Amino acid sequence: MLAAREPRNDELAVRLLVLDELGLHDSAIELLHEYLRPGDLLVVNDAATIPASLHGRDRSGNPLEVRLTLQLDERTWRAVLFGAGDWRIATEERPRPPRLRAGDEISFSEDFKASVVRESGLSGRLLDLEFNVGGAQLWRGIYALGRPVQYSYMKSELDLWSVQNVYGGRPWAVEMPSAGHAFNWRLLLSLREHGVQIASLTHGAGLSSTGDPEIDRDLPMAERFEIPAATMQAVEETRARGGRVIAVGTSVVRALESYGNELVGLTELKIGAGYRLKKVDGLITGTHEVSESHYQLLRAFVSDSTLARISAFVEGHNYLTHEFGDLCLISAEC
Amino acid sequence: MFDTRDKSILITGGSRGLGRALALKLSAEGARVVLVARETLSLDRTIAEIRRAGGSAFAIAADVGDKEAIYPIVGQAAALAGPIDVLINNASSLGPVPLRLLADTDCEDFERVLAVNTIGPFRLIKAVAGSMALRQSGLVVNISSDAAVEAYSGWGVYSASKAALDHLTRIAAVEFAGTGVRFLSVDPGELDTQMHADAMPDADPATLKRPEMAAEEIFSIIRSADEIESGARLIASERGVLRC
């Protein structure tokens, strides 16, 4: 598939593959209202994206990159280590980072450091790190020294402006909830004029790929979410009156499907083939490689044969893939 | 009545003058305030003053005229105080002082004044108003000046930047109508501040309004923001709010 290699400034020209009961259609996000109905509910993830990539050195001076994935408490983050090099090298081709053990220190600057609290059982590269500062100082350090997580297929380095959705609020996502990139205000307001309701939740979208087979096999990692009571009420009301709940992005599916009785929580839910969707009827998502966990989630919506048709369609129509690529609207097959 | 208790309020130019007075007032009224300023000494002093009084305040040392500072400001503010409910664009630059006639003003100085007084607020609005709209509630207060309306010799670039800010307020109000996000321009009056002294060193401070008084007046405006037409330009006054 063709990679979208730079942020789009033609949001409304982003192509939209629509899968509905009539089959597959080549359309554009600008025409999304034609495929939604008054009374449908669109749910977006309003997490803003933090500069989650920090470059530092271990005690021996070995260069490494830390990608934050989940804040565990005021000073402690779960993180994945990468070896020397930068984003221009694909993650799976990066040299392995030095092996760090509990107590080892990583230095990002003279006064911004973290020490390893524990290794995960999964991989020596997945660690819990405790920073030497907390609260405002920790956030100051992250924003002063961090960069957005980068992608090797991009033409140039992404800045923080490029990885925000127009409705981003709390900085919970370590990578951009990318299905939202094409939603500008003109589109959102026009959907509202067509009677489509819009609601939000916050889901701390984690790392999409690490290049470490053990970690990648286990993706998505634990992520935290918060669903406003009004959003959950809108979901229930929409479904009760026969409307559809359409998630913008896989992170929204994960958050809504993780809802038990708690509106706030940490989810380890894995959604894939055979999973019975309880809250979500449709999904707007980017196009994904078969190996990605995002793709696995799509198997809860449609059969593998339909997914194969979708893949052939996006290949045949030269759709762009990855974070800034074209989108698909997929309704769940009954 | 707009309740400021437990609200997350971002104030630019928050370390001195009107920004400081607003921070003290709003934190005393129960808001969590996040103050942005370039100069850390006065910023830290104001934060300490608020905390001593039992208020909740956070400092971000940054320049609102710098595009790359915008998301670090908004991200840190939302991480520390919660999603931003009220944005007060108060930071202002006069440009070089003593004030210069337009024809004597360097182009780069004009660009710098616009970056702080007009484009900085625009960028911050871009970064926060969308989240406010999803929550169907939010208020943006742009601090203006009578120089935005009157033509005073020597105030050219500052005046033009504030006139542009006033109109930005009106356009944003039209475009966000029905979303629950409101925009106001407020002229606080002539204040006894360092900025005013820089602009008019011969002015008698006794004839100028205390920033604390203006903060009280603006607090009243914020409290009654739900009843004021979005996009309005207001003059803060002890006699009540004047519209123009």
**Catalytic status, residue B185:** no
Kindly write down the DSSP assignment for every residue of B101-121, as one continuous string. Answer: -GGGS-HHHHHHHHIIIIIHH
Q: Report the relative pairing of strands A53-58 and A63-71 from DSSP bridges.
A: antiparallel
Q: How far is CA B85 from CA A228, A290, B58, B132, in A?
A: 16, 41, 15, 7
Q: How many beta carbons lie within 10 A of that of residue B11, not counting itself?
A: 30
Q: Indicate yes or no: CB of B75 within 8 angstroms of CB of A140.
A: no
Tokens of B201: 């060193």
ipTM for the predicted complex comes to 0.94
Torsion of CA A271, A276, A281, A285, to 10 degrees: 20
The domains of chain A are located at: 2-49+160-330, 53-145
Contact A201, A46 (CB under 8 A): yes
**Catalytic status, residue B137:** no
- Confidence at residue A131, expressed as pLDDT on a 0 to 100 scale: 98
Indicate which residue of B158, B159, B185, B209 is catalytic: B158
- Confidence at residue A91, expressed as pLDDT on a 0 to 100 scale: 85
CATH of span A53-145: 2.40.10.240
Which segment of A106-120, B103-117, B182-196, B228-242 scores lowest on mean pLDDT? B228-242
DSSP class of residue A170 equals S
Contact residues, chain A, for B60 at CB < 8 Å: 140
Q: Indicate yes or no: CB of B134 within 8 angstroms of CB of A50.
A: no
Chain segment B121-137, per-residue pLDDT in tens:
999 999 999 999 999 99
Q: How far is CA B138 from CA A188, B84, B206, in A?
A: 18, 8, 36
For chains A and B, CB pairs below 8 A equal 66
Give the nearest chain B residue to A46 (CA atoms): B131
Q: Is A6 helix (H, G, I), strand (E, B) or coil?
A: coil
Q: Is A9 helix (H, G, I), strand (E, B) or coil?
A: coil
Kindly write down the DSSP assignment for every residue of A213-278, as one continuous string. Answer: HHHHHT-S--EEEE--HHHHHHHHHHHHTT--EEEESHHHHHHHHH-SS-SEEEE-----TT---S
Cα separation of B128 and B173, whole Å? 14
Q: Enumerate the β-bridge partners of residue A321.
A: A3
| Cα of B38 to nearest chain A Cα, Å | 14
Give the fold, CATH level 3, of A2-49+160-330.
QueA-like (3.40.1780)
Instruction: Chunk chain A into consecutive blocks of 10 residues (it has 334) and report each block's average pLDDT, rounded to whole numbers.
Output: 85 91 93 96 98 97 97 97 90 90 97 96 95 97 97 93 96 96 94 96 95 92 96 97 97 96 93 95 87 84 94 94 93 78
Chain segment B3-47, per-residue pLDDT in tens:
999 999 999 999 999 999 999 999 999 999 999 999 999 999 999
DSSP class of residue B10 equals E
- Confidence at residue B225, expressed as pLDDT on a 0 to 100 scale: 94
- Confidence at residue B160, expressed as pLDDT on a 0 to 100 scale: 98
Cα separation of B64 and B46, whole Å? 18
Which segment of A90-99, A229-238, B56-65, B105-114 scores lowest on mean pLDDT? A90-99
Tokens of B33: 């305030």
How far does CA A132 lie from the centroid of its chain?
A: 28
Cα separation of A225 and A241, whole Å? 26
Q: Hey, is the C-beta of A77 within 8 angstroms of any chain B C-beta?
A: no
Mutation target to probe the A interface, by most A beta carbons within 10 A, among B33, B76, B176 is B76
Cα separation of A198 and A33, whole Å? 13
Residue type at A163 in one-letter notation: V
Of B78, B133, B135, the CB nearest to A48: B78
Q: Hey, is the C-beta of A103 within 8 angstroms of any chain B C-beta?
A: no
Which segment of A257-261, B54-58, B151-155, B171-175 scores lowest on mean pLDDT? A257-261
Q: Indicate yes or no: CB of A185 within 8 angstroms of CB of B175.
A: yes
Contact residues, chain B, for A167 at CB < 8 Å: 130-131, 133-134
Contact residues, chain B, for A169 at CB < 8 Å: 78, 83-84, 131, 134-135
Domains A2-49+160-330 and A53-145 share a fold: no
- Confidence at residue A322, expressed as pLDDT on a 0 to 100 scale: 87
Q: At what angle do helices B120-134 and B156-175 cross, to 10 degrees?
A: 20
Residue type at A218 in one-letter notation: D
| Cα of B81 to nearest chain A Cα, Å | 10
Q: Enumerate the β-bridge partners of residue A246.
A: A42, A282
Indicate which residue of B8, B27, B144, B185 is catalytic: B144
- Confidence at residue B129, expressed as pLDDT on a 0 to 100 scale: 97
